[in-house]
């Protein structure tokens, strides 16, 4: 395949690039590793590499770059031998080369996350490496093994050793090794967001939303004047900036809040909750779940269910199914990382939903539930997951499915180790 393009930034799908997807490490994998690092007092280092050396699978030509033009051959073009930042396939080619290097040095790739690498050393200790494009975290108990891996990397790639990890994807890491605690903070990011939207002097509030607050399309601008006014308010941009954070006035008062890793409680535990028909427009229910290791949150989500549930029991049943899927994936990840966890326990506050999971008999009221949700019954029957009831007052996922009073909201945060 041969094609002429101007400086590599006018590539056409199907002509001069095919596969461009490049995986990046999941945030839950990062938090899982931080939990392991804190519990076992591992060394944690940050290393940055350059990914310009990825190999190309297509023939790509570009005009001679400015300042490097051969005057007598001004109508000639350059054939790229290596990928450049501007090429759409560069990240993928870099990942393929890096992955090949890691596997050739006896590292295994996690089946849960293709950017998580692990290796058992000769002395029985484990080495972990997480990759996010060209940035990586390396963790191990053995400093000598870390130096060995860094030396191998430097022989193959241009790299920079940043020492002990202080930042991860814009998040700051603070460590108290005497107390076996590691803290993850987004203070710097939150301050930038507040300044961007002129909210740095806003009066702080104690919860993201008031307990009485319910969102619906009825709250959207209705009249032409309202639509015109709101067109000048950067709500879309604000929401886009809040991928990791929440409501601005709440953030103003919580910039010093951190996610704490250590060991406050034993085991790997999940919590799940449902807000039945919480979507006021389409009447779909909201599923929320959070998973902790050692009492510290590593994975969470709040999402609308894909189908309308006909009862609270059905909504809770479908929520447990989603939570169990995540529990299985996380348990496999920890197993790969040499963490021998006890059987996962998923807690929820509905006894009726738990009875439905354990009862294999057909129920008239559940015949409308998609068949794939019923796989959770097999999981429970095999003993892979234990589902137990928890008091509504002790379920931390309440904060992800509904607006709460201050006291309950702060109790939920404390339960998953979110502290100042």
Greater confidence (44 vs 57) lies with: 44
Average pLDDT on 91-120 reads: 90
Q: What percent of the chain has pLDDT over 90?
A: 29
Q: What pLDDT was estimated at residue 418?
A: 92
Read out DSSP for 146-195? HHHHHHHHHHHS-EEEEEE--EETTEEEEEETTTTEEEEE-HHHHHHHHH
Give the tokens for residue 91. Answer: 């990240």
Residue in the block written with tokens 């790969």? 336
Residue 229 binned pLDDT confidence (cut-offs 50, 70, 90): confident
Residue 5 binned pLDDT confidence (cut-offs 50, 70, 90): very low
Residues 124-172 have pLDDT tens digits of: 889 999 998 888 999 999 888 899 999 999 988 888 888 899 988 889 9
| pLDDT at 360 exceeding the cut of 60 | no
| pLDDT at 295 exceeding the cut of 50 | yes
Residue 27 binned pLDDT confidence (cut-offs 50, 70, 90): very high
Q: What pLDDT was estimated at residue 372?
A: 63
Cβ atoms of residues 395 and 273 within 8 Å: yes
Residue 412 binned pLDDT confidence (cut-offs 50, 70, 90): very high
Parse the chain into domains and list their residue ranges.
4-168, 186-250, 263-419
Greater confidence (3 vs 382) lies with: 382
- Among the four given CATH numbers 3.30.420.10, 3.30.70.270, 3.40.50.300, 3.60.15.10, the one describing domain 263-419: 3.30.420.10
Residue 365 binned pLDDT confidence (cut-offs 50, 70, 90): low
């Amino acid at each position: 395949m041969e094609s002429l393009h101007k400086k590599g930034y006018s590539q056409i799908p199907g002509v001069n690039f095919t596969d461009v997807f490049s995986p990046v490490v999941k945030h839950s994998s990062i938090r899982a590793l931080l939990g392991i690092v804190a519990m076992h007092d591992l060394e944690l280092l940050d290393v940055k590499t350059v990914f310009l050396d990825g190999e190309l699978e297509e023939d790509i030509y570009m005009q001679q770059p400015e300042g490097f033009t051969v005057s007598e051959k001004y109508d000639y073009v350059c054939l790229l031998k290596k990928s450049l930042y501007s090429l759409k396939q560069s990240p993928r080619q870099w990942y393929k080369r890096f992955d090949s290097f890691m596997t050739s040095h006896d590292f295994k790739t996690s089946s849960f996350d293709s950017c998580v690498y692990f290796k058992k050393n000769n002395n029985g200790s484990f080495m972990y490496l997480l990759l996010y494009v060209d940035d990586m975290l390396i963790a191990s108990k053995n400093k000598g093994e870390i130096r060995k891996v860094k030396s191998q990397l430097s022989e193959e790639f241009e790299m920079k050793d940043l020492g002990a990890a202080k930042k991860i994807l814009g998040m700051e890491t603070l460590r108290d090794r005497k107390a076996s605690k590691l803290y993850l903070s987004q203070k710097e990011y939150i301050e930038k967001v507040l300044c961007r939207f002129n909210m740095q002097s806003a009066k702080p509030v104690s919860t993201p939303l008031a307990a009485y607050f319910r969102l619906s399309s009825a709250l959207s601008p209705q009249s032409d004047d309202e639509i015109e006014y709101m067109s000048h308010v950067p709500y879309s941009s604000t929401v886009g900036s809040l991928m990791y954070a929440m409501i601005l006035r709440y953030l103003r008062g919580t910039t010093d809040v951190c996610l704490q890793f250590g060991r406050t409680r034993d085991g790997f535990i999940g919590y799940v909750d449902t807000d039945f028909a919480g979507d006021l427009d389409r009447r779909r229910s909201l599923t929320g779940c959070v998973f902790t290791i050692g009492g510290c949150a590593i994975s969470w989500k709040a999402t609308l269910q894909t189908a309308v549930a006909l009862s609270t029991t059905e909504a809770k049943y479908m929520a447990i199914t989603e939570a169990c899927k995540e529990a299985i994936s996380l348990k496999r990840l920890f197993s790969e990382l040499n963490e021998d966890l006890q059987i996962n326990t998923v807690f929820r506050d509905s006894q009726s939903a738990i009875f439905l999971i354990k009862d294999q008999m057909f129920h008239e009221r559940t015949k409308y539930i998609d068949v794939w949700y019923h796989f959770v019954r097999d999981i429970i029957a095999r003993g892979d997951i234990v589902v137990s009831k928890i008091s509504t007052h002790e379920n931390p996922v309440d904060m992800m499915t509904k607006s709460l009073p201050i006291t309950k909201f702060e109790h939920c945060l404390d339960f998953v180790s979110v502290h100042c």
